[in-house]
Amino acid sequence: MKAAVYQGSRRFTVEEIETPEPGPGQVLVKVTHSAICGTDVHAFMYDIAKPGSVIGHEIAGVIAAVGPDVERWQVGERVVAGGGRPPDGRGGLVAANPRYNYRTMGFAGSVNGGYAEYQRLPEWRPTRVPDGVPDAAAALTEPCSVAVHAVRRSAVRTGDTVAVIGAGPIGLLVMQVARAAGAGRLIVSEPAPARADAARRLGAHAVINPREEEPVARIVELAGGAGADVVFDCAGIGATLDQALDATRPAGQVVLVAVPWEPLSLEPANWMAREVDLRVSFASEPEDWHRALALMASGRISAAALISETSFIALEQIQETFEALTAPSTQLQVVIRL
Ligand SMILES: [Zn+2]
């Protein structure tokens, strides 16, 4: 099969590697769409992916083969590569290691990821894709589940003013999930025009350009003078966490969703008198995948809105695409079509 193998030093090679065979308790998924995740771009940028590995975890595909003794899957079923509950006693990486460190361990284990024509998975891992969710949108189930997880960890209540800093795929999904959870006013801060437009199209009440306006003062003003009830930092770069804390109302909440890969500077004296709560949200739980698929199937959130005809690339374009994505992107979401 064709796969993009990470070679180290910010280099992928697209090559023929052996197609994995599903063993007992395993299935083989023919990947149809594999979305490029910001986290993978960071793994590339900071060269933390393991040389020789195939990364990529936002896939949709169909069951192509099942191992001996596998009864729960039939060839041809549409699936995403996650959301299944591990058998008893086998939790995820984080549950298995109370000192799990995403920066140092996050990419150490991946060898058989989704930037390839096929992916072999334990049979418990995939989840069926409901009718009405097309494959390309289904490939975004993982980032949708991250948004669902973040909003469920938040204190968002009916009618709240919610601000989202960063309207990349995660920010746009968090915004929609917050609305589905009852948020009232949605304020988005995003400098890239294509992403700002998408936020407007998806129902943001106000979109701030932080290069043209001071985002904290503007969020506070739009939120009625005291600050937003909940601010989600979906950018995680430079000053955004500090901005989020500073733009929150007294006793409001900041949820850090993006993974900052570099140390950040904070000015606590600006906001600590308001006793703002800081919460972090990391990845998602299997239930969040099911909730994400249900929200997509019912039309309450649109992952398809993040994708346009220019979103699609061939696997062979992965190197140039990753290089382009290390700079601020105008692209909303890139999806490899296989
Ligand atoms: Zn992802």
Q: pLDDT for 118-172, tens place per residue?
A: 999 999 999 999 999 999 999 999 999 999 999 999 999 999 999 999 999 999 9
- Give me the CATH number covering residue 180: 3.40.50.720
Residues 121 and 155 reside in one and the same domain: no
- Residues flanking ion ligand 1, Cβ below 5 Å: 37, 142
Residues 115 and 168 reside in one and the same domain: no
Task: Report the relative pairing of strands 26-35 and 58-66 from DSSP bridges.
Answer: antiparallel
**From the CB of residue 104, how many other CB atoms can be counted at a distance below 10 Å?**
9
Query: Rounded distance, CA 58 to CA 66, Å?
Result: 21
Q: What mean pLDDT is reported for the chain? A: 94
Q: Is residue 294 part of a domain?
A: no
Residue from 210, 102, 224 nearest 159 by CA:
224
Q: Do residues 164 and 178 touch, judged by C-beta distance below 8 A?
A: yes
Q: Is residue 241 part of a domain?
A: yes
Amino acid type, 247: A
Number of independent structural domains in the chain: 2
Residue count of the chain: 338
Residues 158 and 115 reside in one and the same domain: no
Residues 134 and 6 reside in one and the same domain: yes
Residues 134 and 54 reside in one and the same domain: yes
pLDDT tens for 7-41 read: 999 999 999 999 999 999 999 999 999 999 988 99
Residues 108 and 164 reside in one and the same domain: no
How many whole angstroms from 141 Cα to the centroid of ligand 1?
9
How many whole angstroms from 243 Cα to the centroid of ligand 1?
24
Q: Is residue 171 part of a domain?
A: yes
pTM metric for this prediction: 0.94
Q: Is residue 296 part of a domain?
A: no
Residues 57 and 113 reside in one and the same domain: yes
How many whole angstroms from 38 Cα to the centroid of ligand 1?
7
Residues 192 and 125 reside in one and the same domain: no
Tell the residue number behind the tokens 């099942």, with chain if given: 66
* Residue 89, pLDDT score: 64
How many whole angstroms from 89 Cα to the centroid of ligand 1?
25
Query: Rounded distance, CA 311 to CA 317, Å?
Result: 12
User: 203: domain range?
Assistant: 147-280
Q: Do residues 170 and 330 touch, judged by C-beta distance below 8 A?
A: no
* Residue 238, pLDDT score: 83
How many whole angstroms from 35 Cα to the centroid of ligand 1?
8
Residues 120 and 65 reside in one and the same domain: yes
Residues 160 and 254 reside in one and the same domain: yes
How many whole angstroms from 240 Cα to the centroid of ligand 1?
20
Listed residues 265, 280, 295: the one ending a domain: 280
Whether residue 90 is predicted with pLDDT greater than 80 in this model: the reply is: no
Residues 183 and 216 reside in one and the same domain: yes
How many whole angstroms from 81 Cα to the centroid of ligand 1?
12
Q: Is residue 290 part of a domain?
A: no
How many whole angstroms from 285 Cα to the centroid of ligand 1?
13
- Give me the CATH number covering residue 32: 3.90.180.10
How many whole angstroms from 34 Cα to the centroid of ligand 1?
10
How many whole angstroms from 326 Cα to the centroid of ligand 1?
16
How many whole angstroms from 289 Cα to the centroid of ligand 1?
12
- Which alpha helices (H) appear in 35-92, and where do they start and end? 38-45
Q: Is residue 286 part of a domain?
A: no
Whether residue 66 is predicted with pLDDT greater than 80 in this model: the reply is: yes
Residues 37 and 167 reside in one and the same domain: no
Q: Is residue 288 part of a domain?
A: no
Q: Is residue 127 part of a domain?
A: yes
